[in-house]
Amino acid sequence: MKLTKTSIKGMFQVKSNGKSRLVTHNKVPGNSVYGEQLLSINGEEYRVWDPYRSKFAAAFLSGMTKLPQIKEKRILYLGVSTGTTASHFSDILNNGILFGIEFSPKVMRRFFRLAEQRTNLIPILADARRPEEYSPFVYEVDLIYQDIAQPDQATIFGRNALEFLKSGGLGFLAIKSQSIDVVLKPDEIFSKQMAVLEQEFEFKIQEYQSIDAFEKKHAVIIIRKP
Ligand SMILES: C[S@@+](CC[C@H](N)C(=O)[O-])C[C@H]1O[C@@H](n2cnc3c(N)ncnc32)[C@H](O)[C@@H]1O
């Protein structure tokens, strides 16, 4: 198996039997987080990063070129769920930290257990609509990653970015058109969400990409806070 670097530090590509897969170096050897395959390469263990389960991997394989680096970052993750994507960020993070916000107690229990093994993950049971409730526990971050299926996704992101994102910081927003409007065409919905981000919150759109090949009716938007 051949391991090659990608443009995202700490995310590698492995080629074997004509198949190419994304992987991260496993910080907790022997542990698979969501049933992903573990690969031994040159005596080290790597976890396969499934693009059908994680929108960051889907965005990378869909050709996005302005995805944020993860390695040294302080990250606020809205809608962290059981930690599928966050576990790969945890593998990559070096000196960084990830605050994971999730409002479902049942889901959060699993993320809490993950955070016991991975000390760079900080679980916070809270509603992302109410940043004031977790502001005592979160400090200024370099990156906000949001993956929540809510009708007011852009507004939730904007309020959190005003409160926690540093000037010049980046945002990764996964948008699910179906949770905003089932009648309008996905492209119209994505344009409206971008207009909210640009006009109401004055963020700069860096890149926009459909990730339909992996998640139907989803797109990813990368923004920068001026
Ligand atoms: C699509 S899943 C996230 C999957 C995750 N990003 C990953 O890749 O591993 C969306 C999650 O957002 C959570 N969520 C939805 N609305 C929320 C809100 N207002 N505040 C906090 N969490 C929310 C849901 O409970 C769910 O766990």
Question: What are the tokens at 36?
Answer: 């992903």
19 CA distance to ligand 1 middle (Å):
31
Residue with tokens 């090659």: 4
- CATH class (in words) of the domain with range 2-49: alpha beta
Measured CA distances, 163 to 23, 110, 134, 221, 223 (Å): 33, 27, 11, 19, 15
| Sequence-ordered strand ranges (E) for 37-191 | 38-41, 44-49, 74-78, 97-102, 121-125, 141-146, 165-176
Question: What are the tokens at 125?
Answer: 């049971």
Asked if 77 and 86 count as a contact pair (C-beta separation under 8 A), the reply is yes
User: Ligand 1 pocket, 196 CB below 6 A?
Assistant: no
**Delimiting residues of CATH 3.30.200.20 domain(s) in the chain:** 2-49
User: Ligand 1 pocket, 147 CB below 6 A?
Assistant: yes
User: Ligand 1 pocket, 51 CB below 6 A?
Assistant: no
101 CA distance to ligand 1 middle (Å):
8
3-state SS assignment for residue 224: strand
Residue with tokens 């540093």: 166
44 CA distance to ligand 1 middle (Å):
32
User: Ligand 1 pocket, 128 CB below 6 A?
Assistant: yes
Determine the Cα–Cα distance for residues 151 and 175; give it in Å rounded to an integer: 10
Q: pLDDT by residue (tens digit) across 38-62? A: 999 999 999 999 999 999 999 999 9
For the chain, give me the number of helices (H) and strands (E)? 6, 12
For residue 84, the ligand 1 atom closest to its alpha carbon is: 9
| CATH topology for the 55-224 domain | Rossmann fold (3.40.50)
127 CA distance to ligand 1 middle (Å):
10
CA end-to-end distance (rounded Å), the chain? 43
Determine the Cα–Cα distance for residues 63 and 211; give it in Å rounded to an integer: 9
207's CB contacts (< 8 A; 6+ apart) are 64, 65, 66, 220, 221, 222
Q: Could you state, in chain order, the average pLDDT of each consecutive group of 10 residues for the chain (226 residues)?
A: 94 90 98 97 96 98 97 98 98 97 97 98 98 96 95 93 97 88 81 91 95 93 96
Determine the Cα–Cα distance for residues 74 and 60; give it in Å rounded to an integer: 20
Q: Which region, left, alpha or beta, applies to residue 173 given φ > 0 means left and ψ of -120 to 50 means alpha?
A: beta
- One-letter amino acid identity for 211? I
Largest CA distance in the chain: 52
User: Ligand 1 pocket, 175 CB below 6 A?
Assistant: no
Give the pLDDT of residue 134: 98
Determine the Cα–Cα distance for residues 114 and 89; give it in Å rounded to an integer: 13
User: Ligand 1 pocket, 103 CB below 6 A?
Assistant: yes
Give the pLDDT of residue 77: 98
Q: Can you say how many angstroms the Cα of residue 49 is from the centroid of all Cα atoms in its chain? A: 12
Measured by CA distance, the residue closest to atom 4 of ligand 1 is 81
User: Ligand 1 pocket, 91 CB below 6 A?
Assistant: no
User: Ligand 1 pocket, 152 CB below 6 A?
Assistant: no
Give the pLDDT of residue 190: 85
**Delimiting residues of CATH 3.40.50.150 domain(s) in the chain:** 55-224
Determine the Cα–Cα distance for residues 105 and 152; give it in Å rounded to an integer: 21
Please state the pTM of the whole predicted model: 0.96
Give the pLDDT of residue 52: 97
How many other β-carbons are positioned within 10 Å of the β-carbon of residue 212?
13
Give the pLDDT of residue 184: 77
User: Ligand 1 pocket, 57 CB below 6 A?
Assistant: no
User: Ligand 1 pocket, 179 CB below 6 A?
Assistant: no
Give the pLDDT of residue 150: 85
176 CA distance to ligand 1 middle (Å):
12
